[in-house]
Structure 1
Amino acid sequence: MKIEFKTVDEYIASFPNDVQQILLQVRKTILAHAPDATEGIAYGMPAYKLKGKPLVYFGGYQKHIGFYATTTGHEQFEDQLAPYKQGKGSVQFPLKQQIPYELIVKMVEYRVAEILKKLK
């Protein structure tokens, strides 16, 4: 039976302690660089919107952290994301490797600027 999470806290709490710490840091990184973003759950994972537009999402898995910055957010960082397994608009950061928080910062900042530019 699939669990329906109502809050990001509830979602993060469902993981083992070591993964919780990584998810909390990803969350903190997003909110530090998109302070006006709203936080919620979409597609069963933490989701962030800026001015009503999708900003980024992340999710915890058994062997990786999934990060979703939409297709444009990933295209912009194609070279830096090359070492990681990817899908259209998604990347997998293995739990056995250092999570590239600085890259997450760049991706979030890019998406914020992209959304704000489109709204002008």
Structure 2
Amino acid sequence: MEVFAEFLNNIDNPEHRARMEEVLSSVIHKFPDLVPVIKWNQPMFTHHGTYIIGFSTSKKHMAVSPESAGMIHFSEEISQAGYDQTKQLIRIPWNHPVDYELLAKMIQYNLEDKADCTTFWR
């Protein structure tokens, strides 16, 4: 979590900061082979140099981005979880529970789908 310390410290709302820390910690514990990094001022996780998942924050929500392939693959489940989505990200309102099972499935999908990927993005 040390790599994310500055990012987390810059989240003014303590509840939002705690929520983001909880989500990032859960990814680290469930997927210890992922590399936590900060790129473009956002926390991300990579594997063998390729992007797996990224996070960002706004006043009203936490955003999760599994790349567009992950968005397409999980679009129905994202909607069923009650999250708003665009082509590139999922918006999880701060007052809405995080679907950790869906998050883990998106990460696992990207790990498998990008196993032979040699670039950062698809």
Partner Cα separation in structure 1 for residue 49 and residue 71 of structure 2: 20
1:95-106 aligned at under 5 Å gives the runs: 95-106=94-105
Whether contact under 8 Å (2:66, 2:110) holds in the other structure is yes
1:56 counterpart letter in structure 2: I
3-state SS, counterpart of residue 55 of structure 1: strand
Residue 45 of structure 1 corresponds to 42
C-alpha distance after superposition, 1:78-103 (max 9, x if no partner)? 11112322111211000111122221
Partner Cα separation in structure 2 for residue 18 and residue 58 of structure 1: 16
Moved more, 61-70 or 72-81: 72-81
1:78 counterpart letter in structure 2: S
Partner Cα separation in structure 1 for residue 29 and residue 71 of structure 2: 20
Gap runs ≥5 in structure 2: none
Gap runs ≥5 in structure 1: 1-6
How many residues were matched structurally? 113
Moved over 3 A (4+): none
Residue 9 of structure 2 corresponds to 13
Higher relative contact order (CA 8 A, sep 6+): 1
Give the TM-score of the pair, scaled to structure 2: 0.83
Residue 59 of structure 2 corresponds to 62
3-state SS, counterpart of residue 68 of structure 2: helix
Partner Cα separation in structure 2 for residue 108 and residue 85 of structure 1: 19
Structural RMSD (CA)? 1.6
3-state SS, counterpart of residue 29 of structure 2: helix
Shift of 1:32: 2.5
Seen in structure 2, the aligned counterparts of structure 1 residues 40 and 9 have a Cα distance that, compared at 3 Å, is: same
Shift of 1:40: 1.2
Whether contact under 8 Å (1:29, 1:104) holds in the other structure is no
